Structure 1
Amino acid sequence: MTDTTGALPHPDFTLPVRGDAYRRADADTLAGFDTITSATACAKLHGMGITRSWVDGPVPLSPGQRVVGSAITLQFMPQREDLASGLGQEYVERHTALWAVLEQVQPGDVLVIQAYGSRFSGCIGDILARYFLRKGGAGIVVDGRIRDAARIRQLGLPVWSTGTTPHYASQTELFPWAYDVPVAVGGALCMPGDVVIADDDGPVIVPQAMSNDVIDAARDHEEWETFSRRRLDEGARLGDYYPLTPDTREEFEAWRSAQAFAL
């Protein structure tokens, strides 16, 4: 018969887990995404062969917010009491990957959290969000829930999550396990250092090595869409300007040259 009265045997395993060193997306790259929407980035990535870039599930805590930043990652895993449990939260969580990742935050980082869409784990609360913001963090994307929503709104910190909960991070089913590791969020893979774009259409993950190609393609796309909107507002036919035909592409190129010359 198993003895359930004493402490469980503890495997020889050290937490938190930390991934390998990585390179953040640089400031010039991030600046290149300033005017690019998540929808345009997602569409351009699809055309380049990356078909799962959208993080399905998280929505903005405060509509109208937007963030572009370099991904720093946090992975939750299921609790197993011989390894990790949320009992005694105040004394346990400070030694987990959740506290550790916050000490690694640099200006412009977007914290991307794998939490399996859990409804019961408040992965980030007011105090941690304040600390993240103080260190220069740009925004947070959580494939799961947050707590202290009203206070986080007051901070003005851009956050995307699947909802809110009164629970703390390790109160029920998950435990902050690893950081600086690949994470799965809403059906998309996010590697540390990838570019994250999030707005009202949701978060999109741009592989860092593809970021400059996405910038070039997206800038052209958004410029011709601006031109097309103008022509449609003037009464032009949809089929001629969305998308552009070879003839209207020539018209757009002439319009773009004139705009550049005017500047």
Structure 2
Amino acid sequence: MVDLLKRFEKLTTAHVADACLRAGMPVRTVSLVPVTSGRVAGRVLPARHVGSVDIFLEAFETAEPGDVLVVDNGARRDEACVGDLVALEAQAAGVAGLVVWGLHRDTVDIQAIGLPVYSLGAMPTGPLRLDPLPDNALESATIGEWTVTSADVVLGDEDGVIFIPADRVDQLLDLAESIQATERKQADLIRSGTSLRQQVGFAAYLAARRERPSLTFREHLRGVGGAIEE
């Protein structure tokens, strides 16, 4: 997945989200905070946390270099489920980063390790419970409203993370790059004195909408090659 990370470094999760929308696919994003600087891109290595670190150690047994551990802790706010030792062990196993649907701890130590980690936030308390381990705890992870597996790829940056099907990565990144190129041209024109309203023919859109109230701005943008909303 080295090439994937190298290609993603030139994009953002926002570009990929817009690419999913344009491709008619679900936009599987969640808002998570990066604990360390740096982006992450790799195959999903799912793990459903039930209160013990051994589920992560078991996941690392089958990890491939560049995988990203995606931890499902049900968005719990009463415990941290990963810390510095998990981050260190992940790094030693060749895992490229951690995405945690829950909380982390040991923030300073994790930042010193340097492995990309994304979570809902931090708290000092670790797990205080031990629930039964489901048979499929390493087959999938539910993050927000999305359930992901090793057939998915996760991309993360300062805006959060997005999950995309591994078999459609090239198509979506091609679209994302096209959207990015259009937006850069639009930004350059704004800086040089041509407003975004001028670029997208906004006055013409308003006039056309008066004639056809059902006309949406997205329809108009497709006609003029804009890339503001998708």
TM-score by length of 1: 0.69
Seq. identity, %: 26
Partner of 1:69: 42
Tell me if structure 1 keeps the 8 A contact 2:75–2:101: yes
Q: Deviations over 1:130-158 (max 9, x none)?
A: 11112222111100011212111111111
Partner of 2:152: 194
Q: Deviations over 1:113-141 (max 9, x none)?
A: 11111012322111121111122221111
1:211 paired to 2:143: no
Structure of larger gyration radius: 1
Matching residue within 35, 42, 53 for 2:28: 53
Tell me if structure 1 keeps the 8 A contact 2:4–2:41: no
Partner of 1:43: 18
Separation in 2, partners of 1:111, 1:233: 41
Alignment of 1:113-124 (within 5 A): 113-124=71-82
Separation in 2, partners of 1:52, 1:223: 21
Alignment of 1:101-112 (within 5 A): 101-112=59-70
Going from structure 1 to structure 2, the CA distance change for 1:101 and 1:248 (only over 3 Å counts) comes to closer
- How many residue pairs get aligned? The number is 206
Going from structure 1 to structure 2, the CA distance change for 1:174 and 1:219 (only over 3 Å counts) comes to farther
List alignment gaps of at least 5 residues for structure 1: 1-25, 78-85, 87-92, 250-263
Going from structure 1 to structure 2, the CA distance change for 1:138 and 1:176 (only over 3 Å counts) comes to farther
* SS in structure 1 of the partner of residue 189 of structure 2: helix
1:241 paired to 2:199: yes
Tell me if structure 2 keeps the 8 A contact 1:195–1:205: yes
What RMSD in Å do the two structures reach over aligned CA positions?
Answer: 2.6
Matching residue within 112, 135, 143 for 2:101: 143
Separation in 2, partners of 1:67, 1:222: 19
List alignment gaps of at least 5 residues for structure 2: 201-220
Aligned partner letter, 2:16: A
* SS in structure 2 of the partner of residue 140 of structure 1: strand
1:163 paired to 2:121: yes
